[in-house]
Structure 1
Amino acid sequence: MDAAEDLLGDQGSQALTLATVAERAGCSKGGLLYHFGTKEALIKGMVERLIEEFDELVAAQGHDTYTKNYLAATFAAVQSGRLRRWAVVTGASGNPYLLAPLRTAMARWHREGLGDEPDPEAAQIVRLACEGLWDVASHDPDLYDAGHYARLERRLLALLAP
């Protein structure tokens, strides 16, 4: 999957073939086919891996609400370079079937723990702002510096104060 993500980032989705991925990964095409029978299965696997990694990042945060964890994880992901991986993988996933796991995760991320939030509407606004940040930063990764990100994160946290 790493080789496929690198290939997508370097050459775009038109270059993504199982033979090219296998060559870049240093394995046989048959070995790749053992794990991913089709190019679509490979893309779906990459989407699922990104979701799992983000879930782990959210869980690793130490805040008292899901929204604060989601906010911290979003800023960590955007600033760490993970954004490029999301952009190239989801860009290659034009097929709605391949993006189904992402739609399911997105629905979960935006519903999780809302009843436990001191202000559920503020929590929804912050979560939506996180999605906007992902989108804008994926199109212009150099738009904000670390200081600007820190100020934005503090302002969004202030919206969650009871």
Structure 2
Amino acid sequence: MKKDALLDAAESLLFEHGTQALTLAAVADRAGVSKGGLLYHFPTKEALVTAMVARVIAEFDELIASFDDGTPGGYDRAYVEATFEILTGEARAYRRWSAITAAAGDPELAAPLNEAMARWHGHPKGHEPCGEDPCGEDPTGGDPVGSMVVRLAAEGLWEVVSHAPELYDRAQLEAVKQRLLSLLTR
């Protein structure tokens, strides 16, 4: 059994039944493997949660990198594109929610997600933060507050879709994505 299938099983348990359902026995049962088979890959629940968190971070980082063309505003556009790639992908919208939920009770498990979130909502690699005046000069040539608003809107939509995936259809999500991207070009 591949690790990803075990992580998928853990995520679906969390999404369907909450944190109390995340036990190694339940994950093994959901994945259709013996508990020993699960323990081979994840010897503890903490190791399982750590892997869930790492997968969420790596997946989003890879998507952002794949969309970032390196031009001014490219990171912000890539952030939006990556978010919507996940929102419209099969069973991926709740992946981060599951990882956050699983790690929430332990600051050590949540730390990598917190660090990634700070990085995702900061400036692109190689740019200094704006400091106390977020409306100051942006080295990318864009609007730092507008970029912040767009990223926060994408985060909010991600949260909503994580809990109610049927709320918006593909056409509605595409319309929201295009509107967010257009806000970055103003």
Is residue 139 of structure 1 aligned with residue 145 of structure 2?
A: no
Q: Which one of the candidate residues 64, 79, 83 is aligned to 1:70?
A: 79
Q: What's the TM-score, normalizing by structure 2?
A: 0.75
Q: Which one of the candidate residues 8, 24, 27 is aligned to 1:2?
A: 8
* CA-CA distance at 1:29 after TM superposition: 3.1
Is residue 121 of structure 1 aligned with residue 145 of structure 2?
A: yes
* CA-CA distance at 1:73 after TM superposition: 0.7
The residue number in structure 1 matching 2:24 is 18
Query: For 2:118 and 2:141, how far apart are their aligned partners in 1?
Result: 17
Q: Say how many residue pairs are matched.
A: 162
* CA-CA distance at 1:103 after TM superposition: 0.5
Q: For CA contacts below 8 A with separation 6 or more, give which structure has more relative contact order.
A: 1
Unaligned 5+ residue runs, structure 2?
Answer: 1-6, 128-138
Contact 1:5–1:85 (Cα < 8 Å) also in 2: yes
The residue number in structure 1 matching 2:113 is 102
SS in 2 for 1:111: coil
Is residue 87 of structure 1 aligned with residue 97 of structure 2?
A: yes
The Cα offsets for residues 110-140 of structure 1, whole Å up to 9 and x where unpaired, read as 1132632522222111111111111222232
Q: What's the TM-score, normalizing by structure 1?
A: 0.85
* CA-CA distance at 1:61 after TM superposition: 1.5
Larger deviation: 103-112 or 139-148? Answer: 139-148
Contact 1:117–1:123 (Cα < 8 Å) also in 2: no
* CA gap 1:135/1:11 in 2 versus in 1, 3 angstroms: closer
* CA-CA distance at 1:82 after TM superposition: 1.1
Higher normalized helix content (fraction of residues)? 1
